[in-house]
């Protein structure tokens, strides 16, 4: 079909190249900064205890669990719901969901975690659900936008060829909108990894413990190194998401 190449708006080649360059450059710069602080700062025993390898490894693992689990939960909820509300008969539900989640995202992540804590108590599950709620909107919105901007003439041609609604969704709509959907998932992952630093507030662990300990004990190097590790993780996941966005879209787009 000659209209396939214009079925959805795609990013320019320059934008794709920058996506694959900028995040690694910033991550490398932050890694050098963290290494320099660790190597050349006069760290006292308290700072060394805060940055104990066992503690940091545990906190990195907890941050990964928080960020990835909440992101997977977002995808499992937002993508099917986004597909549902773009079908005929659900425009009001679409507007209601987008408006409601927009209000939810207007709350600071800190406030949302505290709200969930007041109902669910402390623990990692509380943080995962709060983060998933906070980052639902980008994935839902991008799923809706991606599906709705598929060229209607392509869909009509597919119907004329005898494809069912399910086949059109799986073989045409989702492949043509996958880049836009992955853009929303990319945003959600970066949000969740970054804001997982707040998990310590409700007993969820994560690298926020290092940052908080540095703040309480007035240890600047611990604060900086903890923040650098969170930022590097977010940038690395942004890079991996950019790779997925580039290579999972249909060829020719």
What pLDDT does 12 receive?
65
Q: Structure tokens of 57?
A: 């490894």
Residue 48 sits in a domain whose CATH number is 1.10.3720.10
Taking the alpha carbons at both ends of the chain, their separation in whole angstroms is 13
**Domain with 76 in it:** 13-247
Report if residue 77 sits inside a domain.
yes
Domain presence at residue 6: no
Euclidean distance between CA atoms 34 and 231, whole angstroms: 11
Residues 95 and 32: their CA atoms lie apart, in Å, by 46
Tell whether 2 is covered by a domain: no
User: Per the domain annotation, does 157 fall within a domain?
Assistant: yes
Q: Evaluate whether 192 touches 71 at the Cβ level (below 8 Å).
A: yes
Q: Is 30 inside a domain boundary?
A: yes
Residue 4 forms part of a structural domain = no
> How many domains are contained in the chain?
1
Residue 48 lies in a domain: yes
Nearest to 101 by CA among 73, 124, 74, 126: 74
Contact status, residue 180 vs residue 144, Cβ threshold 8 Å: no
Q: Are 182 and 241 in contact (CB under 8 A)?
A: yes
Q: What is the pLDDT of residue 26?
A: 94
Per-residue pLDDT for the chain (253 aa), expressed as one digit of tens each? Answer: 333 344 445 566 667 777 788 889 999 999 999 999 988 888 899 999 999 999 999 999 999 999 999 999 999 999 999 998 888 766 677 777 777 777 767 777 888 888 899 989 888 999 999 999 999 989 999 999 999 898 888 888 988 898 888 899 988 999 999 989 999 999 999 999 999 999 998 888 899 999 999 999 999 999 999 999 999 999 999 999 888 888 887 765 5
* Residue 3, domain member (yes or no): no
């Amino acid at each position: 079909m000659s209209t396939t190449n214009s079925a959805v708006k795609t990013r320019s080649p320059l934008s794709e190249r920058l996506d694959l360059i900028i995040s690694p450059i910033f991550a490398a710069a932050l890694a050098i900064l963290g290494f320099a602080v660790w190597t050349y700062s006069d760290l006292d025993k308290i700072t060394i205890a805060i940055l104990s390898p066992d503690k940091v490894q545990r906190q990195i693992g907890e941050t990964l669990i928080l960020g990835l689990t909440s992101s997977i939960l977002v995808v499992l909820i937002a993508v099917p719901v986004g597909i549902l509300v773009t079908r005929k008969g659900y425009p009001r539900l679409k507007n209601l969901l987008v408006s409601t989640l927009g209000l939810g995202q207007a709350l600071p992540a800190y406030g949302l975690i505290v709200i969930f804590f007041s109902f669910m108590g402390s623990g990692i599950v509380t943080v995962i659900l709060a983060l998933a709620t906070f980052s639902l909107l980008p994935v839902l919105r991008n799923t809706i936008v991606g599906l709705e901007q598929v060229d209607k003439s392509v869909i009509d041609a597919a119907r004329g060829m005898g494809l069912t609604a399910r086949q059109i969704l799986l073989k045409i709509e989702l492949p043509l909108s996958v880049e836009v959907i992955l853009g929303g998932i990319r945003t959600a992952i970066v949000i969740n990894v970054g804001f997982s630093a707040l998990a310590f507030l409700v007993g969820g662990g994560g690298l926020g413990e290092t940052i908080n300990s540095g703040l309480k004990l007035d240890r600047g190097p611990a604060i900086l190194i903890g923040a650098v590790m969170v930022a590097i993780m977010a940038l690395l996941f942004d890079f991996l998401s950019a790779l997925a966005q580039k290579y999972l879209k249909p060829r020719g787009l």
